[in-house]
Structure 1
Amino acid sequence: MGTAWLVLALGDERAHGGNDGYDDDPESHYSWDETVPNHGNLKKGDVIALWNARTLLGVSVIERVETGSAAKDRYTCPACGKADFKGRKKKKPTYLCNQCGLEFDTPKSRTETVRTYRSHHATGWQSMPGALSGAVLRSLCDSPKSQLSMRRMEWEKLKTAIEATTGAEAAVTVTEATRELIGGHRAGVVRVRVGQGAFRAAVLERHGNVCAFTGPAPKPALEAAHLDSFAATGEHNVGAALLLRRDVHRLFDMGLIAVNPRTLTIDLTADLHEFAAYAPLHGQPVLATLGKDHIQALSKHWDMHRDRP
């Protein structure tokens, strides 16, 4: 394995002169068409790293690339016919052509059929918002000064940079998922969380953007918590999973936060009571609807980290 792609994910804001943007969901798929440089180079088994021009959003492995065709509105400068322009938010006229210097409010438009591409990468998705800065990501590209929305880099370089942060587990997961996709063998001594991205999506669909202990939270701050032991089962059990804010998830895994299975209320160790951000949680009910699998898993967690009820 070796190839990784740094791709710009801004959804409808990812418009470069001649197009209306793209339908992106960083956690599951990335879309582009034949007008984008490197359009035909991404393939199954390549690592895909998504960023928003400022920071890393996450990494995964391309499971497949879906192709098709679509009618697309293309916009060009009325004078020179080039698509090298962007909208200006404060100055008028709205557009400035970078090729001929013309200022204008209404670009010339035409509709054409283009070949479309969509990568699918939900299974191995590892959310890492803010783990690497834009400057670091640019430096890792084969062409650090490139302005392209899809830029090639070496996976080993990106992997090393990820491992230097708190992303060692993410790097292992992506590496193993890539080997599996290209026909290799997973290391038997390492049980990695391949499928974590799809698992998180399923838990989000079930519970919404709500931390089960603290309440509503931004989607990037939420993680799908295995209440049972993934390391022991090797399975993603949505019925025994909750969404937890990242810091709360870490404290839960360490047993500093638990749920009393008799009262279904949150229990904090004495160490956490001195922190204003966590102390009010003690004794509060779990905010998610709990099923049989949830309660069974929470009971096992309680027995592991607290006295038996």
Structure 2
Amino acid sequence: MTAWLMYLGTEAKRVGEGYDDNPSTHYSWDSRVPNASHVRVGDTIVLWDGEALLGLSVIEDIATGSGTKDLSSCPTCGKADIAERKTMTPKYRCWNGHCKAEFDTPALETVPVTTYRARYEAGWIDLRGHISAPELRALCEEPKSQNALRRLRWDDFRTRVETGKNATPLDVADNTRKVIAGGHKTRTVRVRNGQAAFRASLLEQFGEICAFLGPMPAAALEAAHLYSYAGNGKHHTYGGLLLRRDVHRLFDLGQIAIDPNTMALDIAPSTRAYPDYDKLHGQPLTVPLTKTHQKWISEHWAMHRGAMSAIPGPSSSTSTASPHAVA
């Protein structure tokens, strides 16, 4: 199993370099980046911002394309080992050991590149700040590497996350990896189109009702996919529910799931430690579902609960069947 530590710089810098990123859903790079072509579907992606860990997931899909990139180099020796200086002039200095030239304007060259865009939203686990930059570097196979894509020692990294400060289980990543193994391939770019129309169709279908919590203002409701959009690429008519943002996020992470046998909510033990969510355990859905909904719910359950039955929590609540029959 391969894991990568991938650097996510400031938003302004990434956009300026032509990258399109959203830490919890997708990450971009190009063929000029060392290790660019070695990343595969099913690999674990661990993101950091140069100061601390952000989170991790498992790559479901890698979209490839073509583009161009502007490369800056030393006008004297032609090497790319240059750095911009914040307070000194000239503005740039070449760090090539045989050059050391100083200059205000680097040489520019536009070159063709292959672009890569990894999607991984289904299994995203937010670990913001859990591990510092020095610790992350030390957990790489090559701790002194300066590459944006670095191989991680996964077993050591996992032990640190699951047993150290702010210990967090990584079972979601395991289940995600099992589900997508062999099921997704590198493919051409696909953009999430029609999200607004998808939400509008859910509002027409269900009304202003959170499927977990009941009636509430439309402004508080988000369109939640019951499946991984990144791997499927379509907005299915009966493939979504309206959820309030917090329970939507927990559903995406698998902290809330729907037991396909009872159609009742199953809250993961770590989330049941919070009373507002613990009281949802075993509760029925507040909207009627179709057999197509149930199909997607079963797949979500398989991804986040595996072959397990409903995960027991700290209280004695028991699952009850939904009063809404599956049509």
Instruction: Please say if 1:230 is aligned against 2:229.
Output: no
Is the contact between residue 250 and residue 256 of structure 2 (CA under 8 Å) also seen in structure 1?
A: no
Aligned residue in 1 for 2:162? 163
Instruction: Please say if 1:38 is aligned against 2:63.
Output: no
Long gaps (5+) in structure 2: 184-225, 231-241, 266-270, 281-285, 288-316, 318-327
Is the contact between residue 76 and residue 83 of structure 1 (CA under 8 Å) also seen in structure 2?
A: yes
1:216-255 → structure 2 map (5 Å cutoff)? 224-225=249-250, 230-233=256-259, 250=274, 252-254=276-278
Aligned residue in 1 for 2:211? none
Q: What SS class does the counterpart of residue 72 from structure 2 fall into?
A: strand
Q: When the two structures are aligned, how many residues end up with a matched partner?
A: 221
Which amino acid is the alignment partner of residue 148 of structure 1?
Answer: N
* TM-score normalised according to structure 2 size: 0.57
Aligned residue in 2 for 1:81? 78
Give a deviation string over 1:232-261, Cα, whole Å, max 9, x none: 436xxxxx9xxxxxx9x9453356xx9xxx
Which amino acid is the alignment partner of residue 93 of structure 1?
Answer: P
1:17-56 → structure 2 map (5 Å cutoff)? 20=17, 22-56=19-53
**Cα distance change on mapping 1:107 and 1:126 into 2, 3 Å:** same
Give a deviation string over 1:85-136, Cα, whole Å, max 9, x none: 2222222222111112222111111212111111111111111100111111
**Cα distance change on mapping 1:135 and 1:197 into 2, 3 Å:** farther
Is the contact between residue 14 and residue 20 of structure 2 (CA under 8 Å) also seen in structure 1?
A: no
Q: What SS class does the counterpart of residue 109 from structure 1 fall into?
A: strand
Aligned residue in 2 for 1:270? none
Give a deviation string over 1:192-237, Cα, whole Å, max 9, x none: xx97998xxxxxxx999x989xxxxxxxxxx8356xx934436xxx
Which amino acid is the alignment partner of residue 123 of structure 1?
Answer: A
Is the contact between residue 12 and residue 21 of structure 1 (CA under 8 Å) also seen in structure 2?
A: no
1:51-200 → structure 2 map (5 Å cutoff)? 51-99=48-96, 100-165=99-164, 166-169=166-169, 171-183=170-182
Distance in structure 1 (CA, Å) of the matches to 2:78 and 2:147: 20
Q: What SS class does the counterpart of residue 64 from structure 2 fall into?
A: strand
Q: What SS class does the counterpart of residue 70 from structure 2 fall into?
A: strand
Q: What SS class does the counterpart of residue 123 from structure 1 fall into?
A: helix
Is the contact between residue 125 and residue 197 of structure 1 (CA under 8 Å) also seen in structure 2?
A: no
Aligned residue in 1 for 2:4? 5
Distance in structure 2 (CA, Å) of the matches to 1:225 and 1:177: 15
Is the contact between residue 124 and residue 196 of structure 1 (CA under 8 Å) also seen in structure 2?
A: no
**Cα distance change on mapping 1:14 and 1:85 into 2, 3 Å:** farther
How far is 1:60 from its partner?
Answer: 0.3
Q: What SS class does the counterpart of residue 44 from structure 1 fall into?
A: coil
For the aligned residue pairs, the C-alpha RMSD in angstroms reads 3.9
Distance in structure 2 (CA, Å) of the matches to 1:50 and 1:76: 28
**Cα distance change on mapping 1:104 and 1:81 into 2, 3 Å:** same
* TM-score normalised according to structure 1 size: 0.60
**Cα distance change on mapping 1:173 and 1:81 into 2, 3 Å:** same
Aligned residue in 1 for 2:302? none
**Cα distance change on mapping 1:130 and 1:251 into 2, 3 Å:** farther
Q: What SS class does the counterpart of residue 40 from structure 1 fall into?
A: helix
Distance in structure 1 (CA, Å) of the matches to 2:135 and 2:227: 27
How far is 1:183 from its partner?
Answer: 4.4
Is the contact between residue 12 and residue 22 of structure 1 (CA under 8 Å) also seen in structure 2?
A: no
How far is 1:14 from its partner?
Answer: 5.0
Distance in structure 1 (CA, Å) of the matches to 2:92 and 2:227: 44
How far is 1:182 from its partner?
Answer: 1.4
Distance in structure 2 (CA, Å) of the matches to 1:124 and 1:36: 25
**Runs of 4 or more consecutive aligned structure 1 residues displaced over 3 Å after TM superposition:** 165-169, 194-198, 231-234
Q: What SS class does the counterpart of residue 37 from structure 2 fall into?
A: coil
Percent sequence identity is: 37
Long gaps (5+) in structure 1: 185-193, 199-205, 213-222, 235-239, 241-246, 259-291, 294-303, 305-309
Distance in structure 2 (CA, Å) of the matches to 1:21 and 1:207: 33
